[in-house]
Structure 1
Amino acid sequence: MVTDTAPDRRPAEAASTRKTSRSLEVLRLIWRDRVGAIGLVIVVLMVAAAALAPLIAPYDPTAMSNQRLAAPGGDFLLGADEAGRDLLSRALYGARTSLAVSLIVVTCAGAIGVLLGLLAGFYRGFLDAIITPATDIMFAFPTLLLALAVVAARGPGTENLILALILVFIPSFARVVRGTAMSVRREPYVESGQAVGLTNTRLIFKYILPNSVAPIAVQFTTSLATAILVEASLGYLGLGVQPPQPSWGSMLSSGKAFMEMSIWPSVVPGVCIMIAVLGFNLLGDTLRDVLDPRLRGRSGR
């Protein structure tokens, strides 16, 4: 008689099903909210446009022509810049730059900040005495000013820009997760886990981190909006992504000198920045309300 010794995968499959159902429920609640739906549509369309830029961009974003500062219409749907480059193509590729930089920055900063927040909030003591004052010092400086100082010290370029923004966004994640960890650590089920001999690592990943997912998700979304804005600001100052690679900030900077002759080289990237930041902020605000049962009940969701 052959005995089936394969491990029972039903608990893992049930957990995966619950996570999927929870994700779909969150998406449904966001879609039911008018503001959240607008933010979600903006974000999805922007990500799709950036991902498909090589397919949908009508021209090479660096290709120059003799139609300098051309008005929208004709050969160029949104007009051309001072070098005769298609603004639509440059805006699409600029979206790739802004999203790529922002995603790398917020993901790396989130990973480091979450780890620091968990250590400070769970262990307290010596670790908390080091991590919390360090993040408080960084919070004393405005986000753009701190990023500007780091980039100015290291020099312009994509790598230095990413490094500067990672340093800027770490404290936000660390503070959010630290507060959640301190709160959850006092819950009876955590104390019960300690009583039965669960290790601190097991407690963190079994109880603390799962209860931090909601605030981390909200912080991640709103940080993307801020990262896009700061990246564009540094690009405007010439300290971000360097030409000929298109970015919304550098497009805005180069177009300001020709405002009297054509407003479109400045209007197009400016509107792109506004829409991107608006989309992530709307999505982040709705996500916060959806993931917090108290706010959801108050707003009637």
Structure 2
Amino acid sequence: MVTEVVPGRRQRRGGQQGASPKSVGRRSGHLLRLLARDKVGLVGLVIVVLMIAAAALAPLISPYDPTAMSDQRLAPPGGDFPLGADEAGRDLLSRALYGARTSLTVSLIVVTCAGAIGVLLGLLAGFYRGVLDAIITPATDIMFSFPTLLLALAVVAARGPGTENLVLALVIVFIPSFARIVRGTAMSVRREPYVESGQAVGLSNTRLILKYILPNSVAPIAVQFTTSIAYAILIEASLGYLGLGVQPPQPSWGSMLSNGKSFMEMSVWPSVVPGVCIMIAVLGFNLLGDTLRDVLDPRLRGRSSR
């Protein structure tokens, strides 16, 4: 009598198993509990949640229109302006809130698009190997050889300043990091017994990728996604500072910082406010990303759960 080999059951008997919906749910709950117990990760999570809430509710909580000018130029904090006013008499608190919308929107769009493309390329290169790997891997290596900011500057300079060109430049910059991470995971998981069992019973390559390869790549993708947002905020602010990012009158932390530097001798607040916002945003995403890395690392998972 021939016994049918079922990949999922073979996994459970041998102690190795692919990710199932129930196991993914258990891992998600376990991850949330570990994050709640980790003070550093909890601080990062609180910062991220508050910043997202502030950006989403900016039209409701900002005291003024971020582009409305007044005669109270470079006013100090207090009175009509809680955080002061810039060189054009615009409220810094309102501009900081709308600047958060700009930075978060650009960063989330960039990292989501770059992640989707990079994950696809990494899966193709790591699972199929051969010609696809010979094309994709050298291309990502070439892109890695350029400094990130320099590559973004080259794309924006070639296409001109503006939000669309900024997003395109940053998407190109972040694709290789996702592709490399997913490629390594796909190459490792592809050699696992349960994947070979799936191939033996005739599962298609698409089903193998969706059922085994991709779920096992979720952890490194999540960590890379979080840390990439922090880096994207920095690059977006850097390009805005150079005048190559989001164009006026739309508020941007980088452009606010650039405009404020010319008036440092008269008032430091137009530079301090966006600078502190950038610092807090990057800190929050980095703290959350570092904690996710520690929690999701198999070598540290046992220690983290104690």
* Fold agreement, TM-score > 0.5: yes
Q: 1:267 aligns to what?
A: 272
1:26 aligns with 2:31: yes
Q: Select 1:226's aligned residue among 206, 231, 234.
A: 231
Q: Which amino acid aligns with 1:44?
A: V
Q: 1:149 aligns to what?
A: 154
Q: Select 2:163's aligned residue among 138, 144, 158.
A: 158
What's the CA shift string for 1:160-190, capped at 9, x where partnerless? 0000000000000000000000000000111
What does 1:232-243 correspond to in 2, within 5 Å? Answer: 232-243=237-248
Q: 1:217 aligns to what?
A: 222
Q: CA deviation at 1:130?
A: 0.4
Q: RMSD of the alignment, in Å?
A: 1.2
In 2: Cα distance, 1:17 partner to 1:193 partner: 20
Q: 1:68 aligns to what?
A: 73
In 2: Cα distance, 1:166 partner to 1:119 partner: 19
Q: CA deviation at 1:298?
A: 4.4
**Worse-superposed segment, 171-180 or 29-38:** 29-38
Q: Select 2:194's aligned residue among 177, 189, 192.
A: 189
Q: CA deviation at 1:65?
A: 0.4
Q: 2:88 aligns to what?
A: 83
1:212 counterpart SS class: helix
Q: 1:8 aligns to what?
A: none
What does 1:41-60 correspond to in 2, within 5 Å? Answer: 41-60=46-65
Q: CA deviation at 1:27?
A: 1.5
In 2: Cα distance, 1:258 partner to 1:298 partner: 51
Q: CA deviation at 1:25?
A: 2.1
* Identity fraction in percent: 87
Q: Which amino acid aligns with 2:89?
A: G
What does 1:172-187 correspond to in 2, within 5 Å? Answer: 172-187=177-192
In 2: Cα distance, 1:187 partner to 1:18 partner: 18
Q: Is the 8 A contact 2:295 2:304 kept in 1?
A: no
TM-score, normalising length from structure 1? 0.93
Q: 1:198 aligns to what?
A: 203
Q: CA deviation at 1:293?
A: 2.8
Q: Is the 8 A contact 2:34 2:305 kept in 1?
A: no
What's the CA shift string for 1:246-268, capped at 9, x where partnerless? 00000000000000000000000
Q: Select 1:277's aligned residue among 265, 279, 282.
A: 282
Q: CA deviation at 1:297?
A: 2.8
In 2: Cα distance, 1:198 partner to 1:119 partner: 17
Q: Which structure 2 segments of 5+ residues have no match?
A: 1-19
Change (3 A) 1:272 1:98: same
Q: Select 2:212's aligned residue among 189, 207, 213.
A: 207
What's the CA shift string for 1:10-55, capped at 9, x where partnerless? xxxxx65654443232112112101101100000000000000011
Q: CA deviation at 1:289?
A: 1.1
Alignment length (residue pairs):
287
Q: CA deviation at 1:299?
A: 5.2
Q: Is the 8 A contact 2:124 2:132 kept in 1?
A: yes
Q: Which amino acid aligns with 2:121?
A: L
Q: 2:173 aligns to what?
A: 168
In 2: Cα distance, 1:252 partner to 1:288 partner: 32
2:267 counterpart SS class: coil
Q: Select 2:132's aligned residue among 127, 132, 142.
A: 127
Change (3 A) 1:216 1:133: same
Q: CA deviation at 1:300?
A: 6.2
Q: 1:6 aligns to what?
A: none
Q: Is the 8 A contact 2:264 2:271 kept in 1?
A: yes
Q: 1:38 aligns to what?
A: 43
In 1: Cα distance, 2:190 partner to 2:227 partner: 26
Q: CA deviation at 1:295?
A: 1.7
Q: Which amino acid aligns with 1:145?
A: L
1:284 counterpart SS class: helix
Q: Which amino acid aligns with 1:269?
A: P
